[in-house]
Structure 1
Amino acid sequence: MNDLTLNPAKPLGIAAVERETGIGKDTLRVWERRYGFPQPERDAAGDRLYPAEQVERLRLIKRLLDAGHRPAQVVSLPFERLDVLTRGAGLLTEASSAAATGALTAEPADSPLVSAYIALIKQHDAERLRRALQQDVMRMGLDRFVTDIVAPLNTGVGQAWMRGTLEVFEEHLYSEVIQRAMRTAISAIPLADAAQSRPRVLMTTVPQEPHVLGLLMAEAMLALEGCRCVQLGAQLPLSDIARAVRAHAADVLVLSFSSLLQPAQVLDAVADLRSRLPQQVELWVGGSNPALRKRLPEGVRVTASLSDLAPAVHDWRERHRSPSTTDLLLPPQSRD
């Protein structure tokens, strides 16, 4: 239990505010000078003291910064405006960064199913949460589990985190459990012979993009199409990505971009990678970053949602079809 919970009326020192909000002491001082907020009181020794209402406002600011806003956009806003933004902003927890990847879901983010899962998360029983997810995978199949459970649940968890009804550690618990559940389900998909599992897909994120849950959702859908996927995790340097594509003889490189990165960073990374890749290797990009709605370099395909992946695989196979490989390029479930 923290100091603010013990005594809501008691102002906090700057070190305590740093612990409560995750905003560094130096940053708090800079904001005070640059934006006129926070406006701490002073004790008899001249040390800063922050009233409880300012600490709460700083919490909202931190959530919005984590969601991709810049300090100049939000630090000077009143509490009411910050509250509105946190309820409707694009979300950048690990769970919610993947939500845009799962567009066209069957369940809304405020459905009874999502609410039931969030209630389960708040019980802090990781094993019970894991079993519930595993049962839904077995009951629904992986494709429907991703679109009907994971995608709306990501959105619901992100919204709850932004509203402050879900703690950071609870969102982290969900992210860890759902990633394990996804990896277990993906590993259970039978692998076709290497010659029958093209395109070979390499999946990762660029530096400063830490979120991988969206990639796992995409991997599930690609694996169900018969693709052989190699996951390299998050934040791989661009030069290493290009080397990995060659080392794994990948046909397609898949990258995910949340709105954590500035659009210019995304465009620069995509253009840089496209120039490094062999011409025959395709680059598919997806996620919530607004840069993906801009004009991208030649040879870059945007998969705006999970439902775009199957057509992308089909198109690739059509373009690489030949009389001798017609049967080899079909996914396993499509052959007699």
Structure 2
Amino acid sequence: MSNKATHPPDTPLYPIREVSRLTGVNSVTLRAWERRYGLIRPQRTPKGHRLYAQDDITRIERILQWLNRGVPVSQVADLLDQPETVETPTQDAGDWASQRQQLQLTIEAVDLPKLETLYHQSLALYPLSVAINELWQPVILSLEAKWADQPDELVRRTFEAFLRSQVGIRLHYANQATRGPLILLSAMPEDPGLLWVLMCALMASEQGYRVQMFDRSLALKELPNAVSRLHSSMVLLSSGQRESDDYIRQTLPKAAETLNVPIGVCGEVAKLRENDLRDGPVHMLGDDLPQAIARLRPLLRESGIL
């Protein structure tokens, strides 16, 4: 299929707002795919507004399929017009590894202007779930593994402060724009920072939830009061650590029984402690953050909250 806009005159056309709703790709990303890579070529009104036909929407869906298979956006153009049966390029052929290396080196160099550029670029070029899965989560895992052997508080705290500022701005406006369920989001006691919480907050906000994020681990005994006073629909806890046996096996399940809303766990701790919490009152949502957030809506429906 050509990416040229050559639709018949009677072809139904959709504005970018509607295409974003249909495909789940935000308008900033759609514009970036057009301007930077020429992946789509919508028609324009006399005033310059973009209009998309059904074959443009189909093309966007194919782009998403390739991205979700781990193909970097820079390679998608060469794959779009190939047969559906073409195999996914090997990882060696992609540039995810180089992007991850560049991001990690930038973080470790405490180069905040470049970090801001990479942050906004990743969120503009990719759906958030792809950006988190392929770029941000792997880099955070790599950094935390390195910091476990060679602590670097300056890098960690600077990186967290940067993300806290960026995510905080995003949450502020997103919370005002949606009436979705409110999630209380907190780190667990042994997590030394907010990196996992911040990634969860980004993903939850993207999926239409309002997010109340705590800068420090909220004591479990405070959860009932927090849920009541903030009118929360769910509590979500995250950690990149294993957390203590007593906390996971006793304190957390007891706290879950005192709540009248679901309590879920995501991040690395969900993988490390899956067997410990599998059959209890705490919902294990997994270490894949986009999938973890996707599991919230069915969980809220089962609980009678939605």
- For Structure 1 versus Structure 2, the TM-score category normalised by the shorter chain is 0.5 to 0.7
Aligned to 1:245, which of 227, 243, 252?
Answer: 227
- Gap runs ≥5 in structure 1: 1-103, 322-328, 330-336
After the TM superposition, which residues 1-336 of structure 1 pair with which residues of structure 2 at under 5 Å, given as runs?
A: 106=70, 111-162=97-148, 164=150, 167-189=152-174, 191-194=176-179, 197-198=180-181, 200-259=182-241, 261-278=243-260, 281-289=261-269, 290-296=272-278, 298-304=280-286, 305-306=288-289, 307-317=291-301, 320=304
Q: Secondary structure at the match of 2:132?
A: helix
Amino acid at match of 1:265: Y
List alignment gaps of at least 5 residues for structure 2.
1-67, 73-90
CA RMSD of aligned residues (A): 3.2
Residue 142 of structure 1 deviates from its aligned partner by 3.1
Provide TM-score, normalisation by structure 1: 0.54
Bigger mean CA offset, 110-119 vs 182-191: 182-191
Q: CA distance change for structure 1 residues 245 and 129 in 2, over 3 Å: closer, same or farther?
A: same
Q: Cα–Cα, structure 1 residues 295 and 319, in superposed 2: closer, same or farther, change >3 Å?
A: closer
Structure 1 or 2, whichever has the larger Rg, is: 1
AA aligned to 1:172 is: R
Distance change in 2, residues 1:133/1:105 (3 Å): farther
Between the two structures, name the one with larger relative contact order (CA 8 Å, sep ≥ 6): 1
Identical-residue share of aligned pairs (%): 16
Report Cα offsets for 1:295-318 as digits up to 9, x if no partner: 456432101121132133134236
Residue 312 of structure 1 aligns to which amino acid in structure 2? L
Question: What is the alpha-carbon distance in structure 2 between the residues aligned to residue 115 and residue 208 of structure 1?
Answer: 27
Q: 1:291 offset after TM fit, Å?
A: 3.1
Q: 2 CA distance for matches of 1:153 and 1:142? A: 15
Deviations, residues 186-219 of structure 1 (Å, cap 9, x unaligned): 445374553xx13x21111344444322122112
Post-superposition offset of 1:251: 1.6
Is contact 2:224-2:258 (8 Å) kept? yes
What is the identity, as a one-letter code, of the residue corresponding to 1:283?
I
CA distance in 2 between partners of 1:157 and 1:172 (Å): 12
Number of aligned residue pairs: give it.
Answer: 213
CA distance in 1, matches of 2:191, 2:148: 20
Q: What amino acid sits opposite 2:294 in the alignment?
A: A
Alpha-carbon distance change, 157 to 251 in structure 1, aligned in 2, over 3 angstroms = same
Q: Secondary structure at the match of 2:235?
A: strand
Separation of aligned partners in 2, 1:288 and 1:125: 27
